[in-house]
Amino acid sequence: MTVHQMPADDTKPAYNYAYLDEQTKRMIRRALLKAVAVPGYQVPFGSREMPLARGWGTGGIQITAAIIGPADTLKVIDQGADDTTNAVSIRRFFERTADARTCEATDEATIIQTRHRIPEAPLKSGQVMVYQVPTPEPLRRLEPREAETRKMHAWAEYGLMQVKLYEDIARYGEITKTYDYPVMVNDRYVMAPSPIPKFDNPKMHMSPALQLFGAGREKRIYALPPYTSVKSLDFEDHPFRIQSWTQPCGLCGAGDSYLDEVVIDDQGGRMFVCSDSHYCETRRAEGHRGTMLGDAAASGLVEETTP
Amino acid sequence: MYVAVKGGEAAILATHDLVAEARRGDLAVPEITVAQIREQQALACARVMNEGSLYDQDLAALALKQSQGDVIEAAFLMRAYRTTLPRFGSSEPLDTAQMAIRRRVSATYKDLPGGQVLGPTYDYTHRLFDFALMETEPQRAPSPPAGEGWGEGSRDASDMSSKTGANVSDLRDPSSAPSGHLLPQGEKDRAPLDTTMPRVPDILGAEGLMEAEEPPEGDPRPFDLTRDPVSFPADRDVRLQSMARGDEGFLLGLGYSVQRGFGGTHPFVGEVRVGEVAVEFVPEELGFAVDLGDVTLTECQMVNQFQGSKDVPPQFTRGYGLVFGHSERKAMSMSLVDRALKARDFGEATNYPAQQDEFVLYHADNVEAAGFVEHLKLPHYVDFQGELELIRRIRREREERLAQEQGAKEPDTMPEAAE
């Protein structure tokens, strides 16, 4: 039997604060500094094997682990919601390994790790957004070889992307990219905003928050420093536009938020609710009522509590 | 005031309990021990050590037990543990010429110094069930319920024995299948093996017929892709490391593709050898090598043709595979793909998947591949809502346009014609 199989009393191995060893954190911080210095440029980094699966947020987790400290308050969202399974799992990971203070309120968080959404509430200076990124390369669907796409970025050779967007218009009458919609950063690099809906793209532009992007499996980090220009690619005669809905949130009545569609019966019944669960709850606490709030309470989707 | 109903955390905790229950299975059946897996499922342990990039038979067995025999999940456990281990140094290069041979076969020479050593191999077993293995020693297991595999198997076997005569009944007769029945009869009487077993490529190399394997200039420490990001084109040390920890099935398929036609190599197995090699380490404070123990390795060297060039006379080229444990299929697949990936070095066209380093290296990692494929299970309803909004709008606009065109052209056309 080998030594590691006979731990003394404590069967839990002693892991460093926030799981990663300090050398690895330094390596990640160096990559982050480089990424901040060259906005939108993908910095290769020595992505570690994590105890969570690749493709499940290991890039974002490594960034959060490298920057989190005891004074931080962490919010983790997936699809805009704090209670989706993977968000719960990642929040638990940091509660266990970094003794992290966690919260659901967007304005209380110092670090917000996210998958697929930017919160509806405006971000503030001093906050850090950490995005989980599956495919950091915006040109990957057009050119599978990394050796080629790195050259294309080096030469700012983005004609292929423009042609792709044009072909969409020629075929469908509009650009059909609905999420991970490519952006031009600081008039230099085309960047993948991660699979956030294009609805959220304008929130990246000139954001007062620091935005960090981690792709663990692809071993890339990139960043948007505060107040960076982020422009969604478009054409003069086909300007960029975001999604819109014909009805407001059924629970809180918000007309300005990204909505999730909930199937409520097998007769074609649909209900639209805010994807940002904290935003929706805050509005309801303020007394806003959507048309379906009563029905939703009756069907157990939300609970009424006495204040 | 209303709050959203939250059950995520409780549900996640419940899955942990359910998986523990599923792992244990029927409580009437004794629990398997890690030592049993290590000793009796050694080939599975070898695969977990390879794909987990960590040589530790006990941990490999534990990983298999914890993952219910799911090899990729077991490799994942190994890697997540490995990444937390401190690195205190690099061993001296292993010398496989000094291997304590268990098995060594060459397809290029009928006989050679040291001879052919078959050792433990499934190569010449007939793939007939050995139903004697159904019996557990020392006490028999309780009869499984009818309709389970064993019950049906035994019925099939009796059918088979009535058709095929003595073979199957011999197989089922415990007296004809003594312990160690995988070893050839008379194993114990065999003469001891030669102490010198030169590697076949070295024999060819002495004649100048084999591509020499020289370390790169300055003999730098090999790249470690678990610590640093890979860039392309990737050097050979990166390719070999990636393949050694790559998925056996993926490499097998790629190796097969090279051999079948999607690649131009025509290999001979110069040699496959399996055995134990000493690992030596030079601690800084001592300044001389100390023996850390033995590892079991499988090494395969393929001999391939090469036309030569103006500067280089025609010679054979090498495909190399080296893996932990007894893993011949993996070592052979690796050596096929290693040679295919040398295409660029020899000025050959790189038209096929197995010849393209980006394709092979990015996709051979089964832990990464499984993670990304399985992440599709995660919620994607925000992005899907974007797609729904788009597709509904495009369809609506299309219907409106068609209705307009139709109204303008022929008011009396059948509605089906518009579809």
| Tens digits of residue pLDDT in A226-243 | 999 999 999 999 999 999
Measured between beta carbons, the chain A residues lying within 8 angstroms of B84 are: 13, 15, 21
Structure tokens at B390: 């788009």
Q: State residue A14's pLDDT score.
A: 67
> Looking at the structure, do residues A33 and A124 belong to the same domain, yes or no?
yes
> Looking at the structure, do residues A61 and A201 belong to the same domain, yes or no?
yes
The verdict on B202 touching A (C-beta cutoff 8 Å) is no
The most confident of the ranges A84-93, B58-67, B342-351, B384-393 is B58-67
For chain B, what are the domain ranges? 8-82, 127-176, 200-373, 381-418
**Contact at CB, B2 and A48, closer than 8 angstroms:** no
For A147-156, B338-347, B362-371, which range has the lowest pLDDT when averaged over its residues? B338-347
Q: Which of residues 26-55 of A touch B (CB under 8 A)?
A: 44-51, 53-55
Q: Are B305 and B318 in contact (CB under 8 A)?
A: no
**Contact at CB, B229 and A44, closer than 8 angstroms:** yes
Tens of pLDDT along B177-218? 344 344 444 455 566 788 788 899 899 988 889 988 888 888
Mean pLDDT of chain A, nearest integer: 91
Q: Look up A274 and say whether it is catalytic.
A: yes
**Contact at CB, A56 and B59, closer than 8 angstroms:** no
Q: What is the pLDDT along chain A (307 residues), one digit of tens a residue?
A: 344 444 444 445 567 899 999 999 999 999 999 999 999 999 999 999 999 988 889 999 999 999 999 999 999 999 999 988 889 999 999 999 998 899 999 999 999 999 999 999 999 999 999 999 999 999 999 999 999 999 999 999 999 999 999 999 999 889 999 999 999 999 999 999 999 999 999 999 999 999 999 999 999 999 999 999 999 999 999 999 999 898 999 999 999 999 999 888 888 888 899 999 999 999 999 999 998 888 777 777 777 665 5
**Contact at CB, B2 and A305, closer than 8 angstroms:** yes
Measured between beta carbons, the chain A residues lying within 8 angstroms of B385 are: 197, 243, 258-261, 275
Measured between beta carbons, the chain B residues lying within 8 angstroms of A45 are: 229
What global pTM score does this model have? 0.84
| CA proximity to B254, closest of B343, B373, B364 | B364
- Counting every residue, how long is chain B? 419
Q: Look up A249 and say whether it is catalytic.
A: yes
Q: Look up A103 and say whether it is catalytic.
A: no
Question: Which residue of A89, A179, A305 is in closest CB contact with B1?
Answer: A305
ipTM score of the complex?
0.86
Q: Chains A, B: CB contacts under 8 A, how many?
A: 172
**Contact at CB, A86 and B84, closer than 8 angstroms:** no
For A210-224, A288-302, B3-17, B266-280, which range has the lowest pLDDT when averaged over its residues? B3-17
The verdict on B11 touching A (C-beta cutoff 8 Å) is yes
User: By three-state DSSP, how is residue A9 classified?
Assistant: coil
Report d(CA B108, CA B104) in Å as an integer: 12
Tens of pLDDT along B370-392? 999 999 998 898 999 999 999 99
Q: What percent of chain B has pLDDT over 70?
A: 83
Does a structural domain hold residue A253? no
Q: State residue A2's pLDDT score.
A: 43
CA-nearest residue to A262 within chain B is B381
> Looking at the structure, do residues A89 and A129 belong to the same domain, yes or no?
yes
The verdict on A197 touching B (C-beta cutoff 8 Å) is yes
Does a structural domain hold residue A118? yes
| CA proximity to B236, closest of B205, B214, B206 | B214
> Looking at the structure, do residues A123 and A28 belong to the same domain, yes or no?
yes
Q: State residue B162's pLDDT score.
A: 40
Q: State residue A297's pLDDT score.
A: 78
Q: At residue B72, does pLDDT exceed 70?
A: yes
Q: Which of residues 61-90 of A touch B (CB under 8 A)?
A: 78-81, 83-89
Q: State residue B192's pLDDT score.
A: 77
CATH number, residue A93: 3.40.50.11310
Q: What residue has token string 């312990």? A: B179
**Contact at CB, B385 and A275, closer than 8 angstroms:** yes
Q: State residue B171's pLDDT score.
A: 37
The verdict on B6 touching A (C-beta cutoff 8 Å) is yes
Does a structural domain hold residue A163? no
Range of the domain at A265: 259-297
| CA proximity to A262, closest of B54, B308, B4, B198 | B4
Which amino acid belongs to residue A23? Q
Mean pLDDT of chain B, nearest integer: 84
**Contact at CB, B388 and A261, closer than 8 angstroms:** yes
Does a structural domain hold residue A66? yes
Q: How far is A285 from chain B (nearest CA, A)?
A: 6
Does a structural domain hold residue A121? yes
Measured between beta carbons, the chain A residues lying within 8 angstroms of B2 are: 251, 281, 284, 293, 296-297, 302-305
Structure tokens at B349: 């066209």
